[in-house]
């Protein structure tokens, strides 16, 4: 049976690779990104997908644009993947990049983004027989991960995990499974070239986890290889 995915931040990094693998496998994809006109790779994969892919334009926290996409989608969404994310200041207390503008951007994108996406696409998810919301978080957001840097990235992902738990509780009665995921340390623009794994390995692990998600897993924080992680 074909699975229908919606992925945010689908134009590069892990989001682009998940999009490529989903379309290659024969599933259906709604790909959301800020600038479809410059998303060359994504446009190519969608064009080659025989009509199974469609690209929409939205910022991760643009409530109106997300609601318009939800209205434009005819039918259901099985798996909503909240992947769009940004890392701002990587340093400590004295890092000048910890300023109001960058803190707002990281919290709005990484923490509020999944909430606004869940709200916009709730009605599409309710049309699915196996609806799932998968938030791409980070182990850096775990209270067990000891770090002394990247204050607001960590806080934003801890917040995303908290949003995940609240969504899991509220949406359980709708049969919607909600979980968050650490994608690994991945060689992307964000992860850098010294990271542990390729986007291909991360994306294929994540998609496998999305496919196996059941309502019994709701509220879980999982590694891309399925290992359970502490919130
Ligand atoms: N790479 C890692 O090692 C790693 C580790 C842990 C967690 N993660 C998480 O995995 C996810 C994907 O990361 P990545 O490594 O693929 O990063 P990336 O290569 O930097 O890509 C980030 C994606 O998010 C999009 N994005 C950023 N801010 C946005 C906004 N306000 N609205 C809409 N889209 C926005 C970007 O779009 P533009 O091209 O328009 O900027 C891009 O598509 C993120 O949530 C990240 O926090 C990554």
CATH of the domain at 52: 3.40.50.720
88 lies in a domain?
A: yes
Confidence of residue 74 (pLDDT cuts 50, 70, 90): confident
230 lies in a domain?
A: no
Are residues 88 and 107 in contact, defined by beta-carbon separation less than 8 angstroms?
A: no
Q: What's the structural domain count of the chain?
A: 1
Which of 107, 109, 120, 183 is the pocket-test mutation for ligand 1 (most atoms within 8 Å of CB)?
183
pLDDT in tens, 118-131: 999 999 999 999 99
24 lies in a domain?
A: yes
Protein residues with CB under 6 Å of any ligand 1 atom: 9, 11-15, 33-35, 59-60, 83-86, 109, 136, 138, 182-183, 185-186, 188-191, 195
217 lies in a domain?
A: yes
137 lies in a domain?
A: yes
| Residue among 114, 70, 110, 66 at smallest CA distance from 88 | 110
Confidence of residue 37 (pLDDT cuts 50, 70, 90): very high
| H helix intervals, the chain | 13-24, 40-47, 63-72, 100-107, 113-125, 151-171, 199-212
229 lies in a domain?
A: no
- Structure confidence at residue 201 (pLDDT): 98
Domain extent for 208: 4-223
pTM exceeding the 0.95 threshold for the entire prediction: yes
- Structure confidence at residue 14 (pLDDT): 98
């Amino acid at each position: 049976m074909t699975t229908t995915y919606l992925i945010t931040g689908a134009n590069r990094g892990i989001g682009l690779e998940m999009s490529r693998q989903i379309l290659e496998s024969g599933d259906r994809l709604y790909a959301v990104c800020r600038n479809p006109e410059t998303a060359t790779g994504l446009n190519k994969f969608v064009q080659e997908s025989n009509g199974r892919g469609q690209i929409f334009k939205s910022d991760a926290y643009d409530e109106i644009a997300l609601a318009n996409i939800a209205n434009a989608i005819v039918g259901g969404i099985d798996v909503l993947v909240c992947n769009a994310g940004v890392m701002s200041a990587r340093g400590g207390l004295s890092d000048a990049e910890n300023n109001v503008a960058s803190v707002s951007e990281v919290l709005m994108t990484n923490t509020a983004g999944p909430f606004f996406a869940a709200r916009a696409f709730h009605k599409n998810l309710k049309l699915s027989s196996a609806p799932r919301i998968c938030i791409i978080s980070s182990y850096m957001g775990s209270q067990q991960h000891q770090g002394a840097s990247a204050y607001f990235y960590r806080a934003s992902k801890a917040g995303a995990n908290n949003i995940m738990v609240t969504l899991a509780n509220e949406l359980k009665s709708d049969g919607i499974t909600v979980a968050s995921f650490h994608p690994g340390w991945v060689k992307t623009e964000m992860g850098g070239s010294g990271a542990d794994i390729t986007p291909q390995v991360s994306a294929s692990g994540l998609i496998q986890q999305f496919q196996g998600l059941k309502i019994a897993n709701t509220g879980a924080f999982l590694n891309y290889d399925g290992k359970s992680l502490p919130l």
